[in-house]
Structure 1
Amino acid sequence: MSEKTPGTTPEETKPRRRQARGERRIAQLLQAAANVFCAKGYTAASTNAIAREASVSPGTLYQYFPNKEAIALELGDRLLAEMRAAHGQAFTPANLGLPLPELVDAVLDPLIEFNCQHPVLLALMHGSEIPGRIAEEHDALHASMLAAVGELMAHYLPASEAAQRTRISDMIFAIVKAGLALVLAAPEGPERQAVITELKTVLLRYLGPLLTDRALTTTPSP
């Protein structure tokens, strides 16, 4: 006699099992797609290559996704949702008032960790034929993060003009974007950590003279 979950019928448990198998298969296909997009870029990738990477037939892939664009959209949606969560960890009221080195750590570390764990996002964002919705959602996330940096600058430089804060925020973003590309290009381990340290050093040396509040730029005495 087969076991079943208390309070359910066999007819109820079967769809749940099928759904769980389907989710595992989708996760498998998305991971394979991420690997292929990283290796070949979005434009050169194909559904056949993704199926081979996932060790499934093209027919199995088409049961879940009709084409490469649908795969990229699903992958992009999931990655951007996770990135919003990382963004939320970085820009929190608790970080306001931290000494500058700790502030840089608190803002950069979640973003660096996310990008190192998901290098495919960079491949998707820089593809010449990426689906428009991914680009639009990424642009919206970029704008919200830029606005958050601007709010930080308004907090630490309340007497500054809006145009100055915008220039500073744009410069910070440009530094971080270029630095992240170097971080991802560096081999994992000591070399990557050294590049991260250099990126933080650049930000500290840029921001230090701008932020004149000694409570921000120096660590409080114990």
Structure 2
Amino acid sequence: MSVTTDEDTAATTARPRRRQARGERRIQQLLGAAAEVFCRSGYTAASTNAIAREAGVSPGTLYQYFPNKEAIAIELGERLFHQMRETHGQVLTVEKAALPLDEMLDAALDPMIAFNCQNPAFLALIHSSDVPGKFVEEHDALHASLLTRVEELLAAYHPDLDADQRTRTATMTFALFKAGLELVLSHEGAERQAYITELKASLYRYLAPVIGTEGRALPSRNTP
């Protein structure tokens, strides 16, 4: 009759954990390769063979983790959306209204621009006409959430701003950001930085007449 020791139990538990860690590393490797292929070729032209080749693995290895290209795009999209929601949740807050307009734009835009520069696959997927429907749904939900956050920030700067005007201003602000972001991402080095400066200047000139340039004293959270 065999006896199971604590050491045996620990070893048995450790093996699945190591396998899980290896599996997650492989998934990260495949998603990173997919991001490269989607950026280079677009979602439509990308193939699982191209993704496997980019990752340096066989197609059979890829299929152990993902059944098809759509599943890869959905998993990549979910992770990117999670990161993006975290980024925007930290920077698009009403507390930013305590800052002067130019400082608020720096604080809000820099992390958002950095995210997109580090993850160009995000826009590559958004611009694909046949991207999986789940990705489109996630994007639409995120877009609506961002517009709401921008409206709340505008209201913090200018509480008396008419609701319709606030919605139009938020929509236009977001449209200007997206248009400027396209230019930022299409350049590198000093030119990229120059377009970032132009984007911030454009938004400053647009928003200043509407909400002013000074930060606003926000009510204390401890106020009853």
> Which residue pairs with 2:185 in the alignment?
184
Does the alignment pair 1:138 with 2:154? no
| 2:93 and 2:153 in contact (8 A); partners too | no
> Which residue pairs with 1:27 in the alignment?
28
2:160 is paired with a residue whose SS is coil
CA distance in 2, matches of 1:155, 1:7: 60
CA distance in 2, matches of 1:98, 1:134: 34
Unaligned runs of 5+ in 2: 1-5, 217-224
> Which residue pairs with 2:194 in the alignment?
194
CA distance in 2, matches of 1:28, 1:6: 33
Displacement of 1:156 in angstroms is 1.7
Residue identity in the other structure for 1:211: I
CA distance in 2, matches of 1:6, 1:174: 60
Q: Deviations over 1:145-177 (max 9, x none)?
A: 000111111122222211111110111011000
Q: Deviations over 1:165-203 (max 9, x none)?
A: 11101110110000111110011x211111100000001
1:42 is paired with a residue whose SS is coil
Q: Percent identity, aligned pairs only?
A: 63
> Which residue pairs with 1:152 in the alignment?
153
CA distance in 1, matches of 2:97, 2:211: 13
> Which residue pairs with 2:69 in the alignment?
68
Over aligned residue pairs, what C-alpha RMSD do you find? Answer: 1.6
CA distance in 1, matches of 2:211, 2:78: 36
Displacement of 1:6 in angstroms is 6.8
| 1:42 and 1:124 in contact (8 A); partners too | yes
Once the two structures are overlaid, the 10-residue window that deviates more, 87-96 or 161-170, is 87-96
What does residue range 42-61 of structure 1 map to in structure 2 within 5 Å? 42-61=43-62
Unaligned runs of 5+ in 1: 218-222
What does residue range 1-222 of structure 1 map to in structure 2 within 5 Å? 8-187=9-188, 189-212=189-212, 215-216=214-215
CA distance in 2, matches of 1:108, 1:47: 35
Displacement of 1:13 in angstroms is 1.5
| 2:96 and 2:153 in contact (8 A); partners too | no
Displacement of 1:101 in angstroms is 0.3
Sort the Cα spacing of 1:13 and 1:149 in 2 relative to 1 into closer, same or farther, 3 A. Answer: same
| 1:172 and 1:203 in contact (8 A); partners too | yes
CA distance in 2, matches of 1:80, 1:8: 38
| 2:100 and 2:214 in contact (8 A); partners too | yes
CA distance in 1, matches of 2:121, 2:132: 14
CA distance in 1, matches of 2:204, 2:96: 16
Displacement of 1:104 in angstroms is 0.6
CA distance in 1, matches of 2:115, 2:90: 11
CA distance in 2, matches of 1:13, 1:86: 34
> Which residue pairs with 2:220 in the alignment?
none
Q: Deviations over 1:91-136 (max 9, x none)?
A: 1243122101001111111110100000000011110110001110
Q: How many residues align?
A: 211
1:64 is paired with a residue whose SS is coil
